[in-house]
Chains A and B, each alone.
Chain A
Amino acid sequence: MTTTTLAVLVPLLPFLGAAAGLLLGRTAPGFVRPLAVLPTLAALVLAAIVAVRQGGAEAVNAATELTPTGSIPIELALHIDGFAALVAVLVGLVASCVQIYSTGYLRDDPRYPSYAALVSLFTSAMLLVVYSGDLMVLLVGWEVMGICSYFLVGHYWETPEARAASIKAFLVTKLGDVPFLIGLFALATDAGSFRITKVLGAVASGGLDHPTLIALLLLAGVAGKSAQFPLHTWLPDAMAGPTPVSALIHAATMVAAGVYFVARLLPVFEASQAAMVVLAVMAAVTMTGSALAALAQDDIKRVLAYSTIGQLGYMTGALAVGDRGAAVFHLLSHGAFKALLFLAAGVIIHAAGTNSLAAMSRMGHLRDRVPDAYWTMTVALLALAAIPPFSGFFSKESVLGAAEHVATGHTEHAPGAAGWVVLVAGLLTALLTAAYATRLWLLAFRGQGAEAPDHGREPLTMTVVLWVLAVPSLAVGGLAYRVLPDWFDGRDLTPTLTTSVVGTGVALVGGIVTYAAWRHTTALAARVPLGAVAAHPEGDAALVEAEAIASHEPAYGDIAYAPDPADPGRLLLGPLHRHAAVGFHLDAVYSALFVRPVQAGAALVRFLDREVVETYVRGAGATPRALGWAVRRAQTGNVQTYVSALLAGTVVLVVAAVLVATGA
């Protein structure tokens, strides 16, 4: 089979799996698990073959036009370069792991068939986005991902948190998608085609008339999908979905789609200096703010969610300094270790019966209950904190190196200001990242207090994939930075000495300070008993998680926050803690700025409709009613009245007829 055929099969197989799963889900439950896992695994294998064949050489381009669509043709096009091939492998890997993990995680869930089908559909859509060479086809996958995300976040729709989160995720991403769509149209109008190759060709020849406008419109969609400030607020709430979904969609793949999109069209953005600066500022605000917020979260998954936002900020920062190789490198390594973090967090939540770090810090020997999760999560957290030699170190150093490269004025790809902004924010975030990673590890695994309950070993499907994902987190980074430039633009990804030393230094400082703070506060933990565990710890992991999410707010007063004086984050952040816990009140600001005016407008419209328009309608109805009433009064039932009227009419008619006949 040719590479093109294989590449077509990669998104097609999960799609067929999803369709078959939806069709057979009720009638043949035995086929659901194979239908969920096997197409995804096959897609992974095919994606790997495609990547090997492509091998960083010339991009594979293939296109077929289904039907003429007017002035600007839309084609089913493939554009597979090194980025696409490697990202597809990552997507296939994470999706396969998540599908396998889900068979254990949602073991007893009655809605597993539709869940698995949606995950397959999502995988297919993501692979379509990755491989697509046509912006319209890319947009199709982009929107299908949004729909799948909506359904999967709302998987536990019995809980109000999940319902609210799914609607919020959908609305906020759509808010970004509308300008994104307009931007795509503007881009296609300027370039004369939706084909990425032709667009890039037009950019290279300076054919773009409105580069800033187009770049900013596209950035809105990217910010929505990749959860960048100011449209990031949906991602922490989306943790109300099942943990595998969070791992696949909200950590490794879908949120990376925005970054991937910018990486593909980076020349378009580079055409506008203003857009690059905006991108840099956006990245800087996102990464520092989210790192601060992550330090204050109580829900383990929300910590990881804010961490995801921050790491995505690194990627957009790399893009802002014009180095898409670094961005995609970080995307790949982050996809691996963040998926691992989420999956391990799912195991921990199942074992602990709670998603609250405050409650976990009061459980002894939790790490002995889940040794696989303990070790793999340690690896992943070290990667997250960018400690050498884990993969996160190399990818993050490549980002920081690129920023330093721009800041010191060695390249004309991006403005120097963008480089400085990204560099400073990146170093600050490295400090904070190490801090919240340490806090997470300490609170989750170094808890003291009552023995953690033993619910038996976790299912094998859930632990094996942790080790599978631990391998790239652990080792790949060191090898990749030498190989990857062949696949990418050819730019060097080797960490520079300065940034490596500084970055690792601040990370170590952050970790050590947090450890000191934890030592200081952990004595308080015993004094303040706190915590609630799920009511059905013997159930499958999904049930435990749903109960943990639903009980967090009643138990602690807030979905993101616990009044725990033993929290080292509280000591580190000081007065900032309260604001960081609620995401710096951004939701409240949005509520005041948008929700309440809209609701007031709706109330006004309702008033106008009920009181004003309705009055006219009632009036229009009342007039015929009154007329009908008047006419009805004539129906007295008295025959004599009827005959009187009849004869009176007859007389009048006869007289008239006689007069006419006689010509009077």
Chain B
Amino acid sequence: MSLASLPLTVAAPETHGFLSPTGVEIAFLLVGLVTFGAALITVTTRQLVHAALWLVVTLGGLAVEYLLLTAEFIAWVQVLIYVGSVVVLLLFGLMLTKAPIGRSPDADSGNRWAALTVAVASAAALVWVVVDAFRTTWIDLDGPAAGSTEATGASLFQNWVLPFEALSVLLLAALVGAIVLSRKAKAESASPPVNSRAVSGGSPSVPDSRNHPIRRKEPVTGTRATTGSGSTTGTGSTPGTASTPGTASTTSAGTAPGAGSATGAESAAGAKPATAAESAEQEGAR
């Protein structure tokens, strides 16, 4: 594409008026529109997973823009890191926090209109300032690519070695930090899934506590102390099921007394059998 725009930019280097379309500019504009639209959908969609997918489109569009600006190395890095890993991470995050599949009515918080006002105002201010300042500024895309891998690498390892190394330390710190944060949570949640599985499998001591009249009558507020003292082996999971939200516990205890409440919570939570134990445990934590 840079080649295609070459004649035009060469032909009229000084006569570029405001919004004088060249081929590169048209391409940039179109891709930019797609990118912007995808970004808008990302921040407005009510389906959380879709938001992540639209984010992929946005980031991919940006990669194309980088290419159009002759920064090819950045473009590939963008695709590799953002589209490849960050979005996958985000999807995992959505999955682990049990984000609902499908439309969720409360994806936006109450201060949406304030946010919209602020965003529009800042957009107007920024666009005004930028346009006012760079109305006639022209990027000459001729000659060797400014962002080729060679140029970037040379610059990076000649002039930016020290920050580069510092950055590696930063990344290491981030890595360690993420592991610490995650591992602490995992250490706490290491034992309960075993117990909860045992409970849902039907431990002989548990049905007494699970079918306890108090709990059947008051599933929502089912007292943790009662069930905890009543059960000997399943203390880890029975308190959890006792505090499950009203609907899940009511259905499990009321309509299907024999069924394990952990599985009831599972079915209410959604179709993720692979993380059934974990989600049940997290449901319990709620």
Contacts and interface: CB of A to CB of B under 8 A. Distances in A.
Interface in A598-617: none
B122 A638 contact: no
Contacts of B129: 658
B121 A640 contact: no
Nearest to A649: B118
B111 A648 contact: no
Contacts of A650: 122
Interface of A: 638, 640-641, 644, 647-648, 650-651, 654-655, 658
B125 A651 contact: yes
B8 interface: no
26 contacts: A638-B109, A638-B111, A640-B109, A640-B111, A640-B115, A641-B111, A641-B114, A644-B111, A644-B114, A644-B115, A644-B118, A647-B118, A647-B122, A648-B114, A648-B117, A648-B118, A648-B121, A650-B122, A651-B118, A651-B121, A651-B122, A651-B125, A654-B125, A655-B125, A658-B125, A658-B129
A654 B122 CA distance: 9
Contacts of A647: 118, 122
A658 B127 CA distance: 13
Given A651-B122, A651-B125, 7 more contacts: A640-B109, A641-B111, A644-B115, A644-B118, A648-B114, A655-B125, A658-B125
Contacts of A644: 111, 114-115, 118
Nearest to A650: B122
Give the interface size bracket for B toward A: 10 to 19
A650 B126 CA distance: 12
Nearest to B121: A651
Residue with the greatest number of chain B CB neighbours at <10 A, chosen from A638, A644, A650, A658: A644
Contacts of B121: 648, 651
A633 to B, nearest CB: 14
Contacts of B111: 638, 640-641, 644
A483 to B, nearest CB: 104
Interface string B84-118: 00000000000000000000000001010011011
Q: Is the interface of B mostly helix, strand, loop or mixed?
A: helix
Contacts of A648: 114, 117-118, 121
A664 to B, nearest CB: 11
Nearest to A654: B125
A636 to B, nearest CB: 9
Contacts of A655: 125
A630 B282 CA distance: 38
A650 B117 CA distance: 13
A654 B128 CA distance: 12
Rank and list the top 6 A-B pairs by shortest CB-CB distance, nearest first.
A651-B122, A644-B114, A648-B118, A647-B118, A651-B121, A655-B125
A241 B125 CA distance: 92
A641 to B, nearest CB: 5
A596 to B, nearest CB: 64
Contacts of B125: 651, 654-655, 658
Interface in B236-258: none
A600 to B, nearest CB: 60
A165 B60 CA distance: 102
Interface in B108-144: 109, 111, 114-115, 117-118, 121-122, 125, 129
A655 B111 CA distance: 23
Contacts of A658: 125, 129
A658 B122 CA distance: 13
A655 B109 CA distance: 27
A509 B270 CA distance: 123
A192 B81 CA distance: 108
B31 to A, nearest CB: 28
Contacts of A640: 109, 111, 115
B125 to A, nearest CB: 5
A640 B109 CA distance: 9
A375 to B, nearest CB: 91
A648 B117 CA distance: 8
A325 B219 CA distance: 107
Contacts of B122: 647, 650-651
A302 B109 CA distance: 89
A219 to B, nearest CB: 84
Interface string B199-242: 00000000000000000000000000000000000000000000
A645 B129 CA distance: 21
A651 B128 CA distance: 12
A648 B111 CA distance: 13
A638 B114 CA distance: 13
